[in-house]
């Protein structure tokens, strides 16, 4: 698997917004986004761990390449 770039929660939210996700709300340190019936939860940390980011992308139904292109 190709290595994902190191990103913050805010950068991840911006990239997902470019992919058509809409920011719904923030609960504590977690942002909730939705695209159609597909939703995802992004932790708003300074740096998201690789495994956590991979899980967010899987939950969102976004490939690594799509995410990298929209950073």
- Which tens digits make up the pLDDT trace of 47-69? 999 999 999 999 999 999 999 99
pLDDT at 2 over 80: no
User: 25 near 5, Cβ under 8 Å?
Assistant: no
Q: Helical H runs in 1-71?
A: 9-18, 50-60, 64-69
> Are β-strands 22-27 and 30-35 bridged in parallel, bridged antiparallel, or unpaired?
antiparallel
What is the C-alpha to C-alpha distance for residues 64 and 29, in angstroms, rounded to an integer? Answer: 23
Fold held by 9-69? Metal Transport, Frataxin; Chain A (3.30.920)
Residue 1: predicted pLDDT: 60
């Amino acid at each position: 698997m190709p290595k994902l770039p190191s990103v913050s929660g805010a950068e991840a939210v911006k990239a997902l917004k470019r992919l058509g996700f809409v920011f719904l709300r923030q609960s504590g340190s977690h942002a909730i986004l939705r695209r159609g019936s597909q939703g995802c939860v992004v932790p708003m940390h300074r740096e998201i761990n690789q495994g956590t980011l991979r899980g967010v992308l899987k939950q969102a139904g976004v490939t690594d390449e799509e995410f990298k292109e929209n950073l």
